[in-house]
Structure 1
Amino acid sequence: MWTVTVSSPEATQQLGEALAQGLVAGDVILLDGDLGAGKTTFTKGLARGLHIKRNIKSPTFTIIREYQEGRLPLYHMDIYRLDDGSGADLGLEEYFNGDGVSVVEWSNFVADEIPDDHLKIIFKRNDEAGEATRELSFIPHGDHYEQLVRTLEGQQDE
């Protein structure tokens, strides 16, 4: 696990953009944590890193938004409003095994559908003493994701 603190939406996006450089088809990124902690902001950076020009919006009411025009397709999912708590009817497995990168916000609602190998990022708000920082904890599951996190951590140390 690697934890980093960011102090602005721009820094959150830059982190997402840096991570995108190492992503490949079939990657699954889970974004969990507080409301308003920067999950969609991070996804905007990922999209920018994948050369997606369209504006990234939270898929809160549509559940899944697809962005096809980048280096890899981006499948942005917000499972928070899933009525029955099951993602089986959404065809998540097809996305996870597909040609793009799947980003899942609120993954705990579809925990049974998540592949063993994935990258989980936990977002924590810190609004104490007037500071609006975010703590992001990267938890890799699988060799590929461990390498991604090591690379990202090395870039941040430079």
Structure 2
Amino acid sequence: MTAQTLLDSREIDLPDAVATLALGARIGARLTLGDVVCLHGGLGAGKTTLARGAIEAWTGQPEEAPSPTYTLVQTYEGPRGELWHCDLYRLKSPDEAFEIGLVDAFESAACLIEWPERAGALLPHNRLDVALAPLGEGRRATLIGIGAWREKLEQI
């Protein structure tokens, strides 16, 4: 298998927060239990805004959806089951991600993970990586579908 058969990518320019929410909603509308979306980017990159759009699509209603920086995990119930929104910024090691039950959530819930690099090798192979970077007044989202997410990426 070549690398191209294992992953696919695309870039989307997001001129403002409304566009970031809309991309999150497109992602959230396609999530199913067991899906993992890793949100990469520096402080203020728009990770929580994108997650908010996905959470609203998951629950089917407007959500305040604060960043779980201090709680580490916020869960949301929707018609398809449970969605975990995680912020791993404060973790010191991947073992702490295991301790909060993240690995179990990979099987029983859909997961949105900010600062996923803190989970290290615990991250599943099949996932969507979304990297947000500044682009003028907005940002650019680079979406990388890995494994099973390669086909789902075509729908976003």
Scaled by the length of structure 1, the TM-score of the pair is 0.86
Q: What amino acid does structure 2 have at the position aligned with 1:2?
A: R
User: 1:67 aligned to 2:76?
Assistant: yes
What are the ranges of 5 or more consecutive residues in structure 2 without an aligned counterpart?
A: 1-8
In structure 1, the partner of 2:40 is: 32
CA distance in 2, matches of 1:89, 1:135: 33
User: 1:139 aligned to 2:139?
Assistant: no
In structure 2, the partner of 1:106 is: 115
CA distance in 2, matches of 1:107, 1:72: 22
Deviation of 1:109 (Å): 0.7
Deviation by residue 1:54-89 (Cα, 9 ceiling, x = unmatched): 310100011111112454321000000113453221
Alignment counterpart, residue 67 of structure 2, candidates 58, 62, 67: 58
Alignment counterpart, residue 95 of structure 1, candidates 96, 99, 105: 105
CA distance in 2, matches of 1:103, 1:77: 6
CA distance in 2, matches of 1:95, 1:125: 31
User: 1:83 aligned to 2:92?
Assistant: yes
Matched pairs, number: 146
What are the ranges of 5 or more consecutive residues in structure 1 without an aligned counterpart?
A: 153-158
Secondary structure of the corresponding residue to residue 40 of structure 1: helix
Alignment counterpart, residue 18 of structure 2, candidates 10, 24, 35: 10
Deviation of 1:112 (Å): 1.4
Q: What amino acid does structure 1 have at the position aligned with 2:89?
A: Y
Deviation by residue 1:27-46 (Cα, 9 ceiling, x = unmatched): 00000112101100001110
Which structure: greater strand fraction?
A: 2
In structure 2, the partner of 1:23 is: 31
Q: What amino acid does structure 2 have at the position aligned with 1:14?
A: A
Q: What amino acid does structure 2 have at the position aligned with 1:142?
A: G
Alignment counterpart, residue 116 of structure 1, candidates 105, 121, 125: 125
Q: What amino acid does structure 2 have at the position aligned with 1:151?
A: Q
Q: What amino acid does structure 2 have at the position aligned with 1:123?
A: L
Scaled by the length of structure 2, the TM-score of the pair is 0.87
CA distance in 1, matches of 2:61, 2:147: 27
